[in-house]
Amino acid sequence: MSHARPALRRPEAGLALALAFAAAAAVFVAVFLFGRANTPDYTAALFGRTGTDAVRLKAQLATGCLGLAVLQLLLALWMYRRLPGVRRVPGPVPVTHRIVGVVLFALTVPIAVQCVQAYGVQLTGSRAAVHSIAGCFFYGAFAAKVLLVQSRRLPGWALPLAGGALVVVLVVVWYTSALWYFNGDSVPVLSLEYRHLPPGQM
């Protein structure tokens, strides 16, 4: 009996990982194809703001998302007792982790909707391509993490990897959008090809 349980865990863990990967791929492809098929409408509004005002608001909201992501990471490290000197995990920490995650996701939705409506998925120019692909990947990774959280038969590295991937991709999204705006329409490393687009496009 003691040897049967580990043997049963492997297929269940493998199935959970396969479903999570399939969900991530399906969401990524769906968002990508929808964005590519969308006809850009540069007048699309974000909370009533358009043009450069919408870009400024998106940059501010994206920075807020980045701050929440950092908080999520710290809470996760606290939950797994990976913070230096931490020996105890108070009850509110996991609950706060979940609440911050929900708020973070909810905050990204209007930003993403406006981006897709206004610009779609752009593959012209390295900055736009990285930003678009990272944005699609974020929602795929989020779908995978939601499924993985429901499973009790996962290897120890699965959830930290999924959570870490979300933080990393959100940093990439912020780097290629908010930082680009705050840094005068430029970011290090990635070349920009935007002279053919309306001013302030993000």
Q: How many Cα atoms occupy the beta-carbon half-sphere of 56 within 13 Å? A: 6
Q: Are 120 and 36 in contact (CB under 8 A)?
A: yes
Strands (E), 17-56: none
**What residues contact 55, with CB distance under 8 A and at least 6 apart?**
181, 200, 201, 202
Tell me the per-residue pLDDT of 103-117, one tens digit each, with 9 for 90 and over: 999 999 999 999 999
What length is written for the chain? 202
What does 77-88 look like in DSSP terms, one character per residue? HHHTT-STT---
**Listed residue (62, 57, 81, 97) closest to 156, CA to CA:** 81
Q: Is the pLDDT of residue 1 over 50?
A: no
Alpha-carbon distance of 192 to 182, in angstroms, equals 15
pTM over 0.75: yes
- Confidence (pLDDT) at 73: 92
Mean pLDDT, residues 24-38 taken together: 96
pLDDT at 190: 73
Distance CA 85, CA 169 (A): 28
